[in-house]
Structure 1
Amino acid sequence: MNITALSERGRIWRLVALYIWQRTLKWMHGGPIFRLQPFSAVPSRLLIAPQDLRTADATNAGDIYGGRFLFSGHLVETQGRSPFELNAVHPDWQRQLHGFGWLRDLRAADSQIARQNARALVEDWIRYCGKRHPVGWEAPVVTRRILSWLAHSPFILQDGEHDFYHAFIKSLARQVRFLRQTINETNDGVERLQAALAIASACISMAGQGRFARQSIRRLDQELMRQILPDGGHVSRNPKAIIEIMADLLPVRQAFVAQGLEIPQGMVESVDRMMPLLRFFRHGDGALAHFNGMGSTPSDLIATILAYDDARGAPPSNAPHSGYQRLTGGDSVVVMDTGSVPELTLSGDAHAGCLSFEFSSGAHRIVVNCGVSAKSNAIWRKVSRSTAAHSTLTVDDTSSCRFLAEKPFGHFLGAPIISGPTRVALDREDDPAGSRVSASHNGYAPEFGINHARELRLAADGTVLDGIDLLELEGAVDPDLSFAIRFHLHPATRASVIRGGTAVLLVCRDGEAWEFDAPGLELSLEESIYLSDVYGHRKTEQIVIAGLVQEIPSVTWQFRKTATAKLSRRGTSDFDEIGELPLED
């Protein structure tokens, strides 16, 4: 057995030991013993309701009132029963139900019926699930429920009876105590930080918390300082983590202000660091680049979060701690992944996309990564994390990272990365002519004896993007060993092969055109799929350069702008007349 295999096995057994230890502690702190403990520490009242920044849809209120619940792509009709009496439903559906995020939709309806419906459903949860439920008492679900109940408590409690008010406050306090006792057993990363946010939010929102409030604020400060990197990124390297954290952190910060409390230093510094990095990942159309778990961009939520940004400065060009680079020139933006694998326990959503990049021009995204599917589907999740789903180079159609296999441990440990690039070299140069980033990784070295190096240079006016991909051999390799360089295209970009297969013409919706070529090499245009569209999966295409490692150790390619947008007399582009691309499942 080689050193790499031994190292991977060691990481797996470390995960197994950690899982067993955490499950044991969780059983001790939040299991039968917790449920049997007497509970009388009921706060007298709620002092404040933190704001919910997430977007609501009032049209869902009618469906909820009619007993139709559509969560995670699963529609369940309750047929007059309480949804909390149903158990044989997909776990992801149950997590959204028990998280109570849908309260914002009922509140948006702003009607007496919606308020009574919300109160009845909360009463049902307290009655059927208030002490135990296999999904409803998972720590992340408890976190979301606490934050939802607090944010929408004025809506729920208005015109309610005293007995309901008391039951509501008692149940809320019980859930906060559960989270406080089990936070150390919560999965590290965003889940643990959100649990700390929920506890702190509850402690400053409920009367008489005193010592608990001070402890919760101190713990939240510690988690923020530990998880938010100096450049504003999250330790998981997932851009989505910044959105999720900010959506919960900003209301807690506002609650501190409303209560006249001093905002903890860690909270101030974290917000100040995360805001610029959120802009760092944005393309010209406002969408965030798809790296390491980022799916479709919640545009409304992003706009709301950025409204809290007082500085509103230009995004940074370099995020060295998070492992990303941003190149800008004219209207063009390139974002490149130049980081190594996150820590083992934080890599459950990380992708094998080292040295992949996304490229946009103005409001047009041209080169993308496939992104993450919104569907609860293990197959699509596996596909989206592979190197082939990213705009970078693959060797022998193999990912640059190895994920934990589904059996025998994957069922309960998930699929963290157990090996991947450990060394990513980086060099950056900015001058009046443009910006250049050169990077390399050793993800393919253990299995194939190959290092992948990539250099990108974006012209200052944004009209030319040059690239070089190098295969650096550490020794002899199989003469039949192949490579493929993929450039996944956004579905709104039309592509066609020109010049006898030596170039590809790319046309955007407003007529802007780009030409891609790789001198001396034959290109192919193949099918691809874009997983991160807000309306579902969409068919798209990818440019592929393939060959044998020994024969073509270096590939030079270029994107060159050949036409700007051409508007018709009606004020719309001629290209618009072709119509939108169809949505695909």
Structure 2
Amino acid sequence: MSTGLVDHSLLAVLTLREAWRRVRRRLHTGPIHRWRFAGGTSGKLIALPPNLRHGDPMIAEAIYAGRFHFAGQLLEPGRTSIFQSTPPSAAYAVELHGFDWLTHHAAAGDALAGQNARALVDDWIRLKGKTIAGPPFEPAVAARRLITWITHADLLLAGAEPGFYRRFMKSLSAQARYLRAVVQEAPDGTPRLLARTALAFASLCLPTASGRVKIAAQSLSDELDRQIFPDGGHISRDPSAIIRILADLIPLRQTYLGQGQPLPKGLYSAIDRMLPAIRFFRHGDGALALFNGAGVSDRHLMTVLSRYDETLGEPISHARQSGYHRITADGTIIIADTGCPAHASVSSNAHAGTLAFELSSEASRIVVNCGRPITEDADWRRLSRSTAAHSTVTVADRSSSHFARSASLDRFLGTPLVPGPTAVTLAETGDRCLGFDATHNGYERGFGLLHRRRLLVSPDGNEVEGTDRFEAAGAHTSAATALSATARFHLHPGVNVETAGAGVRLSVRDQRWLFETDGELAIEDSIFFADACGARRTLQLVVPFDARDLNGIAWRFLRER
């Protein structure tokens, strides 16, 4: 079957599923059922969960001055409310209506920040809270808002007038009822898990029947058991998803304990698995590996989360269910994607980076992937997800996984990753060196080829060597004509590059590495998206070769000091 037919069939299935999900959600929230979300007002909050996220008082000051900077875009509404302005992008609307930015007001901690936060929440209740439609009521956005309002209720209610108090509590209760009605229709993956988490918070913090506490706990446990792999990874294969999920689950665990409620087994087990996974995906400088949607690292939050990790010893070397490999040798760290892409239904942030790797040494990253952009620019986001934006090999400038070829489909489906590698083989090496020998079949349908990458690290961490070559897949036979392939090694912006004979010397801080290859080597421009200040120019080492050549290429990084 051709690649096009497979892509079209999968996209058709995804489109039908998404259309039916939206119909079900609309039925749940239509005029006939909307009366269910109205009702009595909860008298008072029973508990206030802790907040692990770190805010910046300067951002709170900017918001007070009317500068709303979300998703890499700035909006200054002037005298009108920000909630009357048209968001410049869908990502902007998600951040705005999710209210996570209240963390910055909490960090400011003064009366002025509290008044500004209260005024903005009151604006939202008045302008958006009565019409259950659009981005503010996407399940994930509503869930994030519910958690944030409950978490920062002390900021919002301190010194509040009785009228605001009643409006706030009435809105909280209505949003909780709304989430209970639509949680089953939330998109799979983190949106549905976030909705279940929000309902567990609501069951503990808002007056409710004891049976609802048990139902919310069991539903959350079941969802965690389904979405969190035994190795601690998430079904989306996005390392940064672990951080976001834990930032909610740990305060939730503390709230259960503080309220004297039984701790759901699934919650306890998931946290216990996920905390060591953070260490698995971190480099020597504390940053998260840039795979499948990971971007700028929230190092403060990761440091806070790590305090709850009571496990000892080095991280595991192979996250089997998540599909990643980690090699550590005397300060040298390799993290590689050695798994199949996430299922299409949870792949909206997935990247076509199978067999890509990142290299760090001590507190310096050297070889990286480009990472996820701060802004949601469609062209940049698509580029960042391509195979060429990863430190691996492309064939004929094509990605090993595919994306929808229609902007309208992307918007409707949430930019899923469609057919890519369906089989990845992996064999670990344990003789003189540490490493792996892996193959993937992402280029089988288009070219009849399997990509094989062998990567080895010396026990002292001073040498990283690898080979890349292609093999005929199954009954396919190698064609006589040449076929271009390109191995790319994207460098972190902090790495300085200079030619050294036939190779290049890479300098970073007090370290110096030599890169050599038996192929033709070129130094080309690249872009590093995962920087807090925005996209940065950097360089990449590029080694073109013939995919039909059974010998492929060999390369190595040698630490000189």
- TM more than 0.5: yes
- Is the contact made by 1:498 and 1:505 (CA closer than 8 Å) also made in structure 2? yes
Letter matched to residue 448 of structure 1: F
Counterpart-to-counterpart distance in 1, 2:457 and 2:478: 34
Q: Which residue of 1 aligns with 2:92?
A: 93
Equivalent residue number for residue 548 of structure 1: 546
Quote how far apart the aligned CAs of 1:30 are.
2.1
What is the 5 A alignment of 1:182-261? 182-261=182-261
Kept after mapping to 2: 8 A contact 1:449/1:477? no
- Separation in 1, partners of 2:298, 2:304: 10
Corresponding position of 1:566: none
- Structure 1 counterpart of 2:487, one-letter code: I
The DSSP-based 3-state class of the residue aligned with 2:32 is helix
Deviation at 1:449, TM superposition (A): 0.9
Note closer, same or farther for the CA distance 1:181–1:536 as it changes in structure 2 (3 Å cut): same
1:477 corresponding residue in structure 2: 479
Conserved? CA contact 1:448–1:477, under 8 Å? no
Counterpart residue number, 2:500:
498
Quick one: which amino acid aligns to residue 82 of structure 2? P
Residues 532 and 38 of structure 1: CA distance in aligned 2, closer, same or farther (over 3 Å): closer
Kindly tell me: are residues 328 and 425 of structure 1, through their superposed partners in 2, closer, same or farther at Cα, counting changes over 3 Å? same
Question: Per the alignment, in what secondary structure is the counterpart of residue 188 of structure 2?
Answer: coil
Give the Cα separation in 2 of the matches to 1:69 and 1:264.
Answer: 38
Q: Distance in 1 between matches of 2:429 and 2:87?
A: 57
Q: Which residue of 2 aligns with 1:533?
A: 531
Instruction: Please give the alpha-carbon distance, in whole angstroms, between the structure 2 residues aligned to 1:498 and 1:470.
Output: 25
Q: Partner residue of 1:39?
A: 38
The percent identity for this pair of structures is 41
Q: Report the AA paired with residue 484 of structure 1.
A: T
Contact 1:494 1:506 in 2 (8 A): yes
Alignment of 1:15-94 (within 5 A): 15-37=14-36, 39-87=38-86, 89-94=88-93
Distance 1:425 1:198 in 2: 39
Contact 2:545–2:553 (Cα < 8 Å) also in 1: no
Structure 2: distance between partners of 1:402 and 1:89: 27
Structure 1: distance between partners of 2:306 and 2:74:
33
Structure 1 position 178, deviation (Å): 0.9
Deviation at 1:413, TM superposition (A): 1.3
| 1:1-48 Cα distance to aligned partner (Å, 9 max, x none) | x35433322211111111111111100112333434472243221011
> What 5-or-longer segments of structure 2 have no aligned partner?
none
Contact 2:470–2:549 under 8 Å retained in 1: no
Distance 1:515 1:259, change over 3 A: same
Matches within 5 A, 1:130-209: 130-132=129-131, 133-209=133-209
Aligned to 2:102: 103
Q: Secondary structure at the residue paired with 2:334? A: strand
Q: Secondary structure in 2 aligned to 1:488?
A: strand
SS of 1:295 mapped into structure 2: coil
Deviation at 1:406, TM superposition (A): 1.8
Residue 491 of structure 2 aligns with an amino acid whose one-letter code is: L
RMSD across aligned positions (CA): 1.6
Q: Tell me if structure 1 keeps the 8 A contact 2:296–2:531.
A: yes
Q: What amino acid maps onto 2:418 in structure 1?
A: I
CA apart distance, 1:382: 0.5
Amino acid at match of 2:479: V
* Aligned counterparts of 1:332 and 1:119: Cα–Cα separation in 2: 49
8 Å CA contact 2:469–2:547 kept in 1: the answer is: no
Alignment check: 8 A CA contact 1:99 1:145 kept: yes
Q: Distance in 2 between matches of 1:549 and 1:351?
A: 22
Q: How does 1:296-315 map to 2 (within 5 A)?
A: 296-315=296-315
Tell me how far apart the structure 2 counterparts of residues 43 and 37 of structure 1 sit (CA, whole Å): 15
Match of 1:569 in 2: none
SS in 2 for 1:59: helix
Which whole-Å CA distance do the structure 2 matches of 1:461 and 1:38 have between them? Answer: 62
User: In the alignment, what sits opposite 2:388?
Assistant: 388
Distance in 2 (CA, whole Å) between partners of 1:89 and 1:10 is 33
Question: Equivalent residue for 2:522?
Answer: 524
Quote the offset at 1:239 in angstroms.
Answer: 0.2
Q: Tell me the CA shift for residue 445 of structure 1.
A: 0.7
The answer for unaligned runs of 5 or more in structure 1 is 564-585
* Structure 1 residues 75-111: Cα deviation after superposition (integer angstroms, max 9, x where no partner): 2223222222223643332322211112121222222
State the Cα distance separating 1:397 from its structure 2 match: 0.7
Question: In the TM superposition, what is the alpha-carbon distance from 1:536 to its structure 2 partner?
Answer: 1.1
Q: Is the Cα–Cα contact under 8 Å of residues 55 and 104 in structure 2 kept in the other structure?
A: yes
Cα deviation, residue 270, structure 1? 0.6
* Cα distance in 1 between the residues matched to 2:338 and 2:462: 23
Match in the other structure for 1:486: 488
Give the partner amino acid of 1:291.
Answer: F
Letter in 2 for 1:310: E
Counterpart amino acid of residue 258 in structure 1: G
2:2·2:445 contact (CA, 8 Å) conserved in 1? no
Find the aligned partners of 2:320 and 2:349 in 1 and give their Cα distance.
20
* CA deviation vs aligned residue, 1:108-143 (integer Å, no higher than 9, x gap): 222222212222221111111112252211212111
3-state DSSP of counterpart to 2:303: helix
1:525–1:541 CA contact under 8 A, matched in 2: yes
Q: Any idea what the Cα deviations from partners look like across 1:529-559, whole Å, max 9, x if unmatched? A: 1111111111111111112223464211111
Aligned ranges 1:334-345 → 2 under 5 Å? 334-345=334-345
The one-character-per-residue Cα deviations of 1:138-182 (angstroms, maximum 9, x if unpaired) are 212111110110011011111222232222111101111111111
- Show CA shifts across 1:444-471 (max 9, x none): 0111111100111111110011101121
Q: Distance in 2 between matches of 1:67 and 1:209?
A: 41
Whichever residue aligns with residue 438 of structure 1, its letter is D
Taking the aligned partners of 2:285 and 2:125, their CA distance within structure 1 comes to 44
Paired with 1:88 and 1:65, the residues of 2 have a C-alpha distance of 18
Distance 1:478 1:50, change over 3 A: farther
AA partner of residue 45 (structure 2): L
Separation in 2, partners of 1:300, 1:312: 21
Letter in 2 for 1:186: A
Cα distance between partner residues in 2 of 1:38 and 1:121: 22
Instruction: Provide, for residues 484-523 of structure 1, a one-character-per-residue CA deviation record: whole Å limited to 9, x for no partner.
Output: 1111111111112221xx211111122x11111113x221
Q: Which amino acid letter does the alignment assign opposite residue 528 of structure 1?
A: S
SS of equivalent residue, structure 2 residue 225: helix
The amino acid that maps onto 2:459 is A
Partner Cα separation in structure 1 for residue 205 and residue 91 of structure 2 = 29
Task: Provide closer, same or farther for how the CA distance between residues 88 and 208 of structure 1 changes in structure 2, counting only shifts above 3 A.
Answer: closer
Conserved in 1, the CA contact under 8 Å of 2:425 and 2:439?
yes
Counterpart code for 1:195 = A
What secondary structure, in the 3-state scheme, does the structure 1 residue paired with 2:415 have? Answer: coil
Q: For the Cα contact (< 8 Å) 1:482–1:548, is it kept in 2?
A: yes
The answer to which of 158-167 and 188-197 deviates more is: 158-167
* Equivalent residue, structure 2, for 1:451: 450
Say which SS state the counterpart of residue 136 (structure 2) adopts: coil
Q: Amino acid of the residue matched to residue 443 of structure 2?
A: Y
Moved more, 541-550 or 386-395: 541-550
**Pair 1:518–1:231, CA change in 2 (3 A):** same
Q: TM-score, normalised by structure 1?
A: 0.92
Distance, in Å, in 2 between the alignment partners of 1:97 and 1:398 is: 36
**Quick one: structure 1 residues 362 and 445, their matched pair in 2 at CA, closer, same or farther if it must change by over 3 Å?**
same
Letter in 1 for 2:494: A
Secondary structure, aligned partner of 1:136: helix
Contact 1:469–1:555 (Cα < 8 Å) also in 2:
yes
For the 8 Å contact 1:479–1:549, the answer to whether it is kept is no
Aligned partner of 2:293: which letter? G
Distance 1:84 1:415 in 2: 27
Secondary structure of the 1:556 match is strand
